[in-house]
């Protein structure tokens, strides 16, 4: 009995997908739940498993074709149902074996395999006598050879560059735009066209937080099995603060004239991958601990980079965080994703002199400082709303009340 393979629902608001690669070919055996093909959507690239065991009888949708959810992709059936149409027979001369290149050429030019009637060749015309050659010019005096410095040597001459980077292989090339890059571009362009976006920035003194992290990170790694980076603290502070600032954790329902204020803090985390930007979602982040967020963040980032995210992993975000500070950026004016009211950008944490209160007076001290930027849809979020939210996040981070999550009772 033949079984149709259809494009399943691949997450919230996903209506179509593009077949990027068939993992099986017609006539090959496939087991139930074995990956059959890869599909790309505006949310994630994912594998579609076979719904039954059997043989791939038919491929309905070719690679690079886009179809809607529910469309038939292929047919799985019994082995005896595989078509057995004979292919053309090519006879090679007995005196020489055909090379693979010649076989490809034969396949591309069928006429080369047909016998051709021999006709007498026309006599070749007699060539006219060639003129006497002109005398060769005297050789020019040799110029002294100048050896061009290698690229790496040139790079080391640039002021301020101690470690030169290798030139990219893309220099001087024109290449096709990947599907994921087109999707990202279209989505961000749509967001900018439909929203009134604005950005507000605050500076946060995270010295106390960095000291707490330094104090507990070794024990944390042993106990939890993951490294403790600063990011989970920022995610937890941002998520918990959303509970008291619902306008930041909301969505405008276009065409309905309504606003949905979410009762969950589902935080999308922008992850830089070889294929492009992916945004897996930490569900109910406001109810997790620092350790829970650290484990989930590592799992999501790892699976985003190795391509094993599921559709549910990238669906349902109510708010997004972009940690470009991990790449050295001071701060960003990040773009709010469609269907959300705001996005938080985390800049690089740097040591700088700052004015601090000490013993009833002010002094200059070396502090760990970071910029937080909140981009928001001004149709829903006012500048005062954004400032109140950012100040609340700053207050939480500067107080660093996370010891209960990280230290044994006697060490708090």
Mean pLDDT for the chain overall: 81
Provide the b/e sequence for 122-146 (b: ≥16 CB within 10 Å): eeeeeeeeeeeeeeeeeeeeeeeee
Which residues partner with 201 through β-bridges?
373
Q: How far is CA 136 from CA 140, 141, 143, 329, in A?
A: 12, 15, 20, 63
Q: Which two tokens stand for residue 412?
A: 């708090």
- Per-residue confidence (pLDDT) for residue 371, from 0 to 100: 97
Give the pLDDT confidence of 135-147 residue by residue, as tens digits. 554 444 444 444 4
Name the least confident of 283-287, 296-300, 353-357: 353-357
Determine contact, residues 271/278, Cβ cutoff 8 Å: yes
- Per-residue confidence (pLDDT) for residue 397, from 0 to 100: 97
- Per-residue confidence (pLDDT) for residue 179, from 0 to 100: 76
- Per-residue confidence (pLDDT) for residue 180, from 0 to 100: 77
- Per-residue confidence (pLDDT) for residue 146, from 0 to 100: 43
Determine contact, residues 309/46, Cβ cutoff 8 Å: yes
The model carries a pTM of 0.69
56 φ/ψ angles, rounded to the nearest 5 degrees: -70, 110
Q: Active-site residue among 64, 186, 287, 382? A: 382
For the domain that residue 31 is a member of, what is the CATH number?
2.40.50.100
pLDDT bracket for residue 122 (50, 70, 90): very low
Give domain status of residue 155, yes or no. no
Neighbours of 324 (CB within 10 A): 18
Q: Is 245 an active-site residue? A: no
Give the pLDDT confidence of 68-118 residue by residue, as tens digits. 989 999 999 987 665 554 444 443 333 334 444 334 334 343 333 344 444
- Per-residue confidence (pLDDT) for residue 83, from 0 to 100: 57
Give domain status of residue 178, yes or no. no
Q: Active-site residue among 378, 385, 404, 405? A: 378
For the domain that residue 241 is a member of, what is the CATH number?
3.30.559.10
DSSP single-letter state for residue 78: -
Name the least confident of 40-44, 217-221, 224-228, 381-385: 40-44
Residues 65, 201 within the same domain = no
Task: Tell me the average pLDDT across 180-197.
Answer: 88
Give the pLDDT confidence of 365-401 residue by residue, as tens digits. 999 999 999 999 999 999 999 999 999 999 999 999 9
Task: Tell me the average pLDDT across 295-303.
Answer: 94
Give domain status of residue 115, yes or no. no
Residues 250, 379 within the same domain = yes
DSSP single-letter state for residue 280: -
- Per-residue confidence (pLDDT) for residue 327, from 0 to 100: 85
> Among the three residues 35, 54, 79, which one is the final residue of a domain in this structure?
79
Residue carrying structure tokens 């569900």: 283
Name the least confident of 7-16, 141-150, 181-190, 303-312: 141-150
Name which of 19, 5, 14, 6 is nearest 64 in CA terms. 19
Helix axis angle, 231-242 relative to 290-306, nearest 10°?
110
Q: How far is CA 36 from CA 23, 57, 179, 247, in A?
A: 5, 12, 20, 43
Which regions of 64-187 does DSSP assign to beta strands (E)?
Answer: 66-68, 72-77
DSSP single-letter state for residue 265: -
Task: Tell me the average pLDDT across 315-329.
Answer: 91
- Per-residue confidence (pLDDT) for residue 408, from 0 to 100: 61
- Per-residue confidence (pLDDT) for residue 411, from 0 to 100: 58
Determine contact, residues 353/219, Cβ cutoff 8 Å: no
Give domain status of residue 92, yes or no. no
Give domain status of residue 401, yes or no. yes
Sign of CA dihedral 15, 21, 27, 31: negative
Domain that holds residue 59: 3-79
Neighbours of 271 (CB within 10 A): 20
Residue carrying structure tokens 């700088």: 352
> Among the three residues 53, 79, 105, which one is the final residue of a domain in this structure?
79
Position 167 pLDDT exceeds 80 = yes
Give domain status of residue 259, yes or no. yes
Structural domains counted in the chain: 2
Position 322 pLDDT exceeds 80 = yes
Task: Tell me the average pLDDT across 206-213.
Answer: 96
> Among the three residues 45, 79, 113, which one is the final residue of a domain in this structure?
79
> What is the rounded distance in angstroms from the CA atom of residue 320 to the CA atom of residue 191?
14
Q: Which two tokens stand for residue 338?
A: 């469609």
User: What is the separation, in whole angstroms, between the first and last Cα of the chain?
Assistant: 66
Name the least confident of 14-18, 209-213, 230-234, 253-257: 14-18
Give domain status of residue 150, yes or no. no
Q: Work out whether strand 319-322 and strand 342-346 pair parallel, antiparallel, or are unpaired.
A: parallel
- Per-residue confidence (pLDDT) for residue 108, from 0 to 100: 40
Task: Tell me the average pLDDT across 317-321.
Answer: 96
- Per-residue confidence (pLDDT) for residue 156, from 0 to 100: 38
Residues 210, 338 within the same domain = yes
> What is the rounded distance in angstroms from the CA atom of residue 303 to the CA atom of residue 307?
6
Give domain status of residue 135, yes or no. no
Residue carrying structure tokens 């024109």: 174
> What is the rounded distance in angstroms from the CA atom of residue 111 to the CA atom of residue 103?
13
Determine contact, residues 219/405, Cβ cutoff 8 Å: no
């Amino acid at each position: 009995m033949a079984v149709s393979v259809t494009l399943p629902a691949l997450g919230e608001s996903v209506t179509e997908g593009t077949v990027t690669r068939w993992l099986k070919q017609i006539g090959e055996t496939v087991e139930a739940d074995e990956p059959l093909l890869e599909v790309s959507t505006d949310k994630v690239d994912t594998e579609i498993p076979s719904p039954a065991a059997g043989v791939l009888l038919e491929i309905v949708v070719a690679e690079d074709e886009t179809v809607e959810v529910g469309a038939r992709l292929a047919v799985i059936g019994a082995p005896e149902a595989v078509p057995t149409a004979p292919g053309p027979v090519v006879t090679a001369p007995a005196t020489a074996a055909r090379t693979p290149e010649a076989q490809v050429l034969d396949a591309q030019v069928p006429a080369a395999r047909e016998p051709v009637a021999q006709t007498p060749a026309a006599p070749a015309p007699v060539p006219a006598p060639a003129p006497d050659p002109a005398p060769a010019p005297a050789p020019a005096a040799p110029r002294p050879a100048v050896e061009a410095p290698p690229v790496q040597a040139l790079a080391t001459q640039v002021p301020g560059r101690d470690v030169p980077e290798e030139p990219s292989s893309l220099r001087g090339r024109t290449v096709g735009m990947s599907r994921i890059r087109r999707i990202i571009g279209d989505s961000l362009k749509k967001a900018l066209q439909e929203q009134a976006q604005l950005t507000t920035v605050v500076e946060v003194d995270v010295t106390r937080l960095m000291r707490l992290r330094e104090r507990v990170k070794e024990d944390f790694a042993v106990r939890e099995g993951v490294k403790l980076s600063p990011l989970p603290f920022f995610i937890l502070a941002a998520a918990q603060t959303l509970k008291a600032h619902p306008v930041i954790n909301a969505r405008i329902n276009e065409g309905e004239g309504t606003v949905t204020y979410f009762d969950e803090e589902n935080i999308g985390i922008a992850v830089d991958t070889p294929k492009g930007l992916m945004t897996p979602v930490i569900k109910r982040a406001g109810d997790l601990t620092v350790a829970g967020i650290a484990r989930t963040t590592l799992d999501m980032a790892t699976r985003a980079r190795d391509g094993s995210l599921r559709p549910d992993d990238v669906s349902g975000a109510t708010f997004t965080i972009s940690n470009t500070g991990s790449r050295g950026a001071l701060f960003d004016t990040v773009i709010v994703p469609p269907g959300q009211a705001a996005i938080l950008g985390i800049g690089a944490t740097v040591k700088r002199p700052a004015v601090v209160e000490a013993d009833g007076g002010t002094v200059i001290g070396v502090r760990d400082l970071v910029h937080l930027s909140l981009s928001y849809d001004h149709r829903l979020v006012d500048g005062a709303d954004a400032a109140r939210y950012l100040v609340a996040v700053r207050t939480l981070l500067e107080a660093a009340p996370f010891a209960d999550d990280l230290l044994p009772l006697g060490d708090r």
